[in-house]
Amino acid sequence: MQDRIHNFNAGPAALPLPVLEEIRDSFLNFAGSGMSITEVSHRSKWFDDVINDAIERTKRLLKLDDQYHILFLQGGASMQFCMAPLNFLSDGRSADYINTGTWSTKAIKEAKIQKKPIKVVASSEDKNFCYIPKNISFNKDAAYVHLTSNNTIKGTQFESLPDTGTVPMIIDMSSDFMSRPVDMSKIGMIYAGAQKNIGPAGVCMVIIRQDLLDLVPDNIPSMLSYATFANTNSMYNTPPCFAIYTIQLVMKWLEETIGGLEKMDARNREKADLLYNFIDASGFYRATAEPGSRSLMNVTFRLPDETLEKTFVAKAIENKMGGLKGHRSVGGCRASIYNATGIDAVKDLVSFMTQFEKTSG
């Protein structure tokens, strides 16, 4: 489609073209219903098939057994910042938090608002969050360890998950969910806002293990209880049907077109290696994240000065490459190369960056 651009937005972000085409082709008459997916009842068989297929495909991709529940919640990942401590720290137990940037900082703030006893056991704030802390000592009696696996603003990512012993991890995976295989054996809960890597804005997927679900107290508001949604297949109230439908199609694409998370991981590493290698070899561009902590999803970089950065972003748009402006809180430039962004887009970006350096360096 000639009028489409290379989309490097950090979120809402690129979706696979085959998914968009299937939505387009079935939008007015979904599954022979004579209605749009935005019109069918969430209590209908049509939608039951959608949400259950999304759940089953997610479980297959992550190799999950029946102790894990797949939930679809509204309020985004930001809602989970308050829901996790509300659900799991009701008995006065403490939790360990790792602070690697804006989103984990906000999660810490939400726990403190509730006056929950938490401990920040590691932070990379000393170097402006340009790295991922290592060799962390965790509290053995913690109810959980909370971390953000990928940091969209600073361009850092956990290369591998830390060893927390017997303490379950709760992980905000909003921006690298389904981008690579995950060892679920020590993970109690994952949450991910859909708009980065698996769907449109409006829904947050939560994967929660039964032993954590058993800890949820009865005396919290129904809409803030994970048990409410686990007991109703995420249909306690009307769910965001269209967003869930899109997630179902993305999971289908991952499973049937890509061939699983191992193959998706290989594609993502190829893209990231191409871009980082080019930046590192350049005397003009500079990556902001330290090697060993660099994100495969969000490549953050600077040019020699802010004026050049503004020109770079503007020229990129003229060359049909959007979303390269860095987050407003840090400036600079950022290329978000999520699952749906192909290697062709990254090659074209490198070609543009090469030419821009020649004319502006």
For the annotated catalytic residues, the residue numbers are 103, 172, 196
Provide the residue type at 343 as one letter: I
What whole-number distance in Å separates Cα of residue 118 and Cα of residue 86? 12
What whole-number distance in Å separates Cα of residue 50 and Cα of residue 38? 12
Cα–Cα distances in angstroms (integers) from residue 216 to residues 86, 171, 274, in the given order: 9, 18, 45
Q: Which among 102, 101, 104 has a CA at the least distance from the CA of 118?
A: 104
What whole-number distance in Å separates Cα of residue 169 and Cα of residue 166? 9
What whole-number distance in Å separates Cα of residue 57 and Cα of residue 254? 9
Q: Is the dihedral of CA 270, 9, 289, 135 positive or negative?
A: negative
Token pair 């297929």 in the structure block, residue? 53
State both tokens at 122.
């590691």
Contact in structure between 172 and 147 (CB atoms under 8 Å): yes
What whole-number distance in Å separates Cα of residue 128 and Cα of residue 123? 10
